[in-house]
């Protein structure tokens, strides 16, 4: 692949929160021609997400919080229903990150998680890779009410929903977040709540 790209120049446009860059490069297309291409790339690091599930209850833990970029697009959709998630700090592993985020956001203390996929949520613009996990939870794991970290300006509503209801909320578009849809569909495909495909 590297032989098809040359003369890369990167200009930083903003470092206000994350890094927005303009990247110009020469790219060789399959017909052999070279063309100068310009793209913008937003680097906010990598992230994690997790579906917490309880087979006995037939339930999952989700969150609901305000998302300004969605609100900017559609004011009626500013409150987003999502799996618990968080950004990976420089020195953390994805596993350590999501275990910490689970306790901060939804108030459950878990010790083991299963990574089920890695995905780029918007590869045309974001460098971010999401590391996605599942883990069982029980009422005995709950250590506080959750809600996020006040110092990070988080206000997170914790939602315990029947798994069947969560799937219906995808169809009704109440759930629009990509990582949440992916993890709920993973649970359905792989039979985490029973069924022929149960692992």
Cα-only R_g, the chain = 19
Is 16 annotated as ligand-binding? no
Query: Strand (E) positions, 15-89?
Result: 19-28, 34-43, 47-54, 59-66, 79-82, 84-87
d(CA 166, CA 156): 18
Phi, psi of 165 (to 5 degrees): -65, -40
Is 18 annotated as ligand-binding? no
Contact present, 94 and 115 (Cβ < 8 Å): yes
Is 101 annotated as ligand-binding? yes
Is 105 annotated as ligand-binding? yes
Binding-site residues for Mg(2+): 85, 101, 105, 154
Binding-site residues: 85, 101, 105, 154
């Amino acid at each position: 692949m590297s032989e098809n790209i040359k003369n890369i120049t990167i200009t930083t446009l903003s470092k206000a929160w994350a890094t927005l860059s303009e990247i110009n490069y020469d790219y060789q297309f399959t017909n052999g021609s070279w063309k100068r291409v310009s793209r913008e790339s937003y680097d906010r690091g990598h992230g994690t997400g997790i579906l917490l599930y309880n087979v006995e209850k037939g339930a999952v833990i989700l969150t609901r919080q305000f998302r300004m970029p969605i609100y900017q697009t559609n004011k009626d959709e500013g409150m987003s229903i999502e799996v618990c998630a968080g950004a990976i700090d420089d020195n953390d592993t994805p596993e350590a990150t999501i275990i910490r985020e689970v306790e901060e956001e939804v108030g459950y203390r878990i010790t083991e998680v299963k990574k089920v996929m890695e995905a780029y949520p918007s590869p045309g613009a974001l460098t971010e890779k999401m590391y996605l996990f599942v883990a069982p939870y029980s009422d005995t794991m709950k250590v506080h009410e959750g809600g996020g970290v006040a110092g990070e300006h988080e206000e997170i509503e914790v939602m315990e929903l029947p798994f069947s209801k969560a799937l219906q909320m995808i169809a009704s578009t109440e759930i629009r977040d990509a990582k949440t849809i992916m993890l709920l569909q993973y649970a359905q495909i792989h039979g985490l709540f029973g069924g022929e495909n149960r692992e």
